[in-house]
Amino acid sequence: MLKNNTSSLFSLPEGIHFINCATRGPFSKAVEQAGIDAIQQFSPSIHQIRPDDFFERAWVVRELFDQLINSQDKERIAIIPSVSYAMAVVARNLFRKPGLRAGQHILLLGDEFPSDVYAWSRVCKELSLTIVTVPMPDSEAVGQEWNARILEAINEDTALVVMPHVHWQYGIKFEIEKIAERARAVNALVAIDGTQSVSALDFDVQKVKPDLLVCAAYKWLMGPYGMGLAYFGEFFDGGIPLEESWMARQESNLFYKLTEYQENYRPKAYRYNVGEHSHFIQMPMLEVALREKLAWGCESIQAHCQSLWQQPVQKLASLGVRFEPEAERAHHLVGIRLPASTDVVKVQQALEARKVIVAARGQGIRVSPHLYNTATDMNALVEALTDVLT
Structure confidence by residue, pLDDT tens digits, 190-211: 999 999 999 999 999 999 999 9
Strand order in the sheet with 334-337: 334-337, 364-367, 359-361
pLDDT of 141 > 90? The answer is no
Give phi and psi for 176, each to the nearest 5. -65, -30
User: How much is the average pLDDT of 303-312?
Assistant: 95
Beta bridge partners of 368: 20
Given this model, what pLDDT does residue 14 score? 92
Instruction: State the Cα–Cα distance between residues 142 and 178, nearest whole angstrom.
Output: 17
The whole-angstrom distance between residue 311's C-alpha and the CA centroid of its chain comes to 28
- Residues 142-176: b if buried by 16+ CB within 10 A, e if exposed: bbbebbeebeebbeebbbbbbbbbbbbbbbbbbbb
pLDDT of 7 > 80? The answer is no
**156-179 tens-digit pLDDT:** 999 999 999 999 999 999 999 999
Is residue 189 a contact partner of residue 60, using CB atoms and an 8 Å limit? no
**204-248 tens-digit pLDDT:** 999 999 999 999 999 999 999 999 999 999 999 999 999 999 999
**61-113 tens-digit pLDDT:** 999 999 999 999 999 999 999 999 999 999 999 999 999 999 999 999 999 99
Instruction: State the Cα–Cα distance between residues 150 and 183, nearest whole angstrom.
Output: 10
Q: pLDDT averaged over the chain?
A: 95
Q: E strands, 156-227, where?
A: 158-164, 189-193, 212-216
- 233 in helix, strand or coil? coil
pLDDT of 2 > 70? The answer is no
Predicted TM-score (pTM) of this structure = 0.95
